[in-house]
Amino acid sequence: MSDQVYLRVDALRKSYGSGGARLEVLKGVSVEVERGEVCVLFGPSGSGKSTFLNLLGGLEPADSGSIAVAGQDICQLSGRQLVEYRRRELGFIFQFYNLVPDLTVRENIEVCRQLSKNPLPVDELLHSLGLWDHRGKFPNQISGGQQQRCSIGRALVKNPGLLLCDEPTGALDYKTSKEILELMEEVNRKFGCTMVIVTHNDAIRHMSHHILRLRDGELVEDERNEHLVPASELEW
Ligand SMILES: Nc1ncnc2c1ncn2[C@@H]1O[C@H](COP(=O)(O)OP(=O)(O)OP(=O)(O)O)[C@@H](O)[C@H]1O
Ligand SMILES: [Mg+2]
């Protein structure tokens, strides 16, 4: 096995419901992602993208198969070990920002910093995220793009090995989406975290090292991108 492989998913299956109502959502997905890769995951609505991300994040159990993250099969972990895995290894960015409304921008980021053994400095992060001037504001006093930056800050401050992003620009306008993508590109370069980005925006494939596509619970595309385009040059 190559020691570059950071994430190895093997024959992963997941279904919901039982009997006649049983719905097979992931039908044996296998994939290898290298350390530091920006990986994009496409697929029609209902194809299993969020389910896949939730399994990678240890938020839901698989029916069968394995998910090795940095050599550790997270499907075999106890509840307590899963909590530890999420704290140590994982950042999660959602479409809707999941900020704590009663905490300021800085406090929202700081609460997540306390979860990590190896956190990033908050001041520096606030500057990188373009949030320095907004650090004392509450989520309802800043724009959607700024809220998404703050939620990215929450995920990043832990200095995670794996950053899982479910439609990180889904709720944003064109210009703000582009800024967020540029930020994610910079974060990947600076901190080397492996990223899996779920999106409906086809242009993101051009800035990604690795392109995956699910259709009806099966992986139908698994390609490496030879010619990366900087996020600033993407158009859609
Ligand atoms: N907790 C659940 N219980 C039952 N069915 C579920 C559950 N979560 C997802 N599903 C079903 O599993 C299928 C895949 O859902 P999933 O959310 O993974 O799709 P998706 O690819 O993320 O779609 P979208 O692009 O719309 O976000 C869908 O048919 C969905 O209804
Ligand atoms: Mg989804």
CA 188 and chain centroid, separation: 12
Measured from the Cβ of residue 35, the count of other Cβ atoms closer than 10 Å reads 16
pLDDT, residue 179, reads 87
Average pLDDT of the segment spanning 136-160 = 93
Q: What is the mean pLDDT of the chain?
A: 93
List, for residues 45-54, the tens digit of each pLDDT value: 999 999 999 9
In the CATH scheme, what is the homologous superfamily, with its name and number, of domain 36-61+82-233? Answer: P-loop containing nucleotide triphosphate hydrolases (3.40.50.300)
Side-chain half-sphere exposure of 138, counting CA atoms within 13 A: 5
Q: How confident is the model at residue 3 (pLDDT cuts 50, 70, 90)?
A: low
pLDDT, residue 2, reads 55
Residues with CB under 5 A from ligand 2 (ion): 50
Q: Where is pLDDT greater, at 1 or 39? A: 39
Q: Is 16 in the pocket of ligand 1 (CB under 6 A)?
A: yes
Average pLDDT of the segment spanning 130-141 = 97
Quick one: CA dihedral 5, 83, 28, 95, positive or negative?
Answer: negative
DSSP conformational letter for 230: -
Q: Is 51 in the pocket of ligand 1 (CB under 6 A)?
A: yes
Average pLDDT of the segment spanning 151-169 = 92
Q: Whose CA is nearest to atom 8 of ligand 1?
A: 51
Q: Is 25 in the pocket of ligand 1 (CB under 6 A)?
A: yes
C-alpha 2 to ligand 2 mean position (Å): 31
pLDDT, residue 97, reads 83
Strands 64-69 and 38-42: unpaired
Q: How confident is the model at residue 139 (pLDDT cuts 50, 70, 90)?
A: very high
Candidates 183, 178, 187, 223; CA nearest to 205 is 223
58 has pLDDT over 70: yes
Strands 90-93 and 72-73: unpaired
CB 207 within 8 A of CB 230: yes
